[in-house]
Amino acid sequence: MLVVEAKGLKKYYDGVKAVDGLDLEIREGEIYGLLGPNGAGKTTTILILLGLTEPTAGEVKVLGYNPTREALKVKRLTGYLPENLGFYDDLSARENLRYIASLNRIPEREARGKIQEVLELVGLADVADRKVGTFSRGMKQRLGIAEVLLKDPRFVILDEPTSGIDPEGARQILDMITRLREERKMTILISSHLLHQIQRVCDRVGIIHRGKLVAQGSLGELSAVMEKGTHLFELKVSEVTDELLAKLRAIDGVVSVDAEGDTVRIEARDDVRPQVSRAVLESGVDLLELKGHAYTLEEVYLRYFQE
């Protein structure tokens, strides 16, 4: 079952191609990362999925509904955390949620228990009666997720949920997102330009650039595509000397050599490990480790953008 099915999606704003022929499929129960740099078209894509803006061309279904013609049905089943949250600073976290619950026509009695439940889920129960104006950005973001959860959505869309949040706060939010998928069987779409943070929680990612999806798949699949033609190695030695670096660079097939601390990264067109270990020996330093290096999403992403 596909939660999102989009084909040839386009959105043009006089002259600007915000989305330009996007195909997107999100499967039930997965965490999908929509990744791309600023201005790539992530938010515009999300607004189309929610029926908040109409596509210029293309077809899209969310949970089987057309977001333009059946916007209410999509909105009822989908929770959305926008890029910029709007809470009332003078109201407490609990009061803000109470207001949202009334907007969503959740009966007051039911709302009370539910609000407590979602506050506990996002770790804000202790500060629930403090004014939101005193909250940090990370706390506001967690309150935003609590708001999304109030209506028990089947599909959750989070636009840049960790942007502007320190690494520890981001880790907490991402752990929470992973737990939600497991405990509540939700399908989750996360948009972000922060690859290194997002990659560990996503089952699949789509890389969007200038309104087009340039790559899609699990991190393993994307790495495999890239690995054709290039080999990466990580070398640890007792001491990185200029002599060693020169010898490594001189190996036939080596494309680049970068040193950082006691680690050297080597990119080559072939498996040059035998030549590398010989170069280390000849340089008179000790070989501590030599291994093939798996691509990080950051590297995958940069590679696609360079092309």
Residues 164 to 193: which contact ligand ATP by CB under 6 A? 193
- Please, which residues have CB within 8 angstroms of residue 115's CB and are 6 or more apart in sequence? 94, 97, 98, 101, 146, 150
Please, are residues 44 and 157 in contact by the beta-carbon 8 Å criterion? no
For every residue of 18-38, DSSP letters joined together read EEEEEEEEEETT-EEEEE--T
13 binds, among Mg ion, ligand ATP, none (CB under 5 to 8 A by kind): ligand ATP
- Please identify, among the stretches 15-23, 34-42, 203-211, 213-221, the one whose residues bind Mg ion according to the rule CB under 5 A: 34-42
Which runs of consecutive H residues, i.e. helices, occur in 122-208?
137-150, 167-184, 195-198
In whole angstroms, the minimum distance from the beta carbon of 223 to ligand ATP comes to 24
Assigned token pair, 59: 């077809």
In the list 4, 26, 32, 41, the residue contacting ligand ATP (rule: CB under 6 A) is 41
In whole angstroms, the minimum distance from the beta carbon of 38 to ligand ATP comes to 4
CA end-to-end span of the chain: 33
44 binds, among ligand ATP, Mg ion, none (CB under 5 to 8 A by kind): ligand ATP
Q: Does 294 bind ligand ATP (CB under 6 A)?
A: no
Nearest alpha carbon to residue 253 among 273, 224, 236, 228: 273
In whole angstroms, the minimum distance from the beta carbon of 6 to Mg ion comes to 17
- Please identify, among the stretches 37-45, 98-106, 133-141, 214-222, the one whose residues bind Mg ion according to the rule CB under 5 A: 37-45
What does the alpha-carbon distance between residue 170 and residue 160 come to, in Å, rounded to a whole number? 11
Q: Does 43 bind Mg ion (CB under 5 A)?
A: yes
Q: Does 39 bind ligand ATP (CB under 6 A)?
A: yes
Assigned token pair, 174: 């991402």
Please, are residues 150 and 101 in contact by the beta-carbon 8 Å criterion? yes
What does the alpha-carbon distance between residue 145 and residue 132 come to, in Å, rounded to a whole number? 14
51 binds, among Mg ion, ligand ATP, none (CB under 5 to 8 A by kind): none
92 binds, among ligand ATP, Mg ion, none (CB under 5 to 8 A by kind): none
Q: Does 154 bind ligand ATP (CB under 6 A)?
A: no
- Dihedral sign for Cα 154, 160, 162, 165, please: negative
Which residue, chain included where needed, has tokens 């309150």?
A: 143
Nearer to Mg ion, 147 or 159 (CB): 159
Residues 107 to 146: which contact Mg ion by CB under 5 A? none
Q: Cα-atom radius of gyration of the chain, to the nearest Å?
A: 24
Nearer to ligand ATP, 44 or 187 (CB): 44
Q: Does 248 bind ligand ATP (CB under 6 A)?
A: no
Where on the chain is the footprint of Mg ion (CB under 5 A)?
42-43
Where on the chain is the footprint of ligand ATP (CB under 6 A)?
13, 16, 18, 36, 38-44, 83, 193
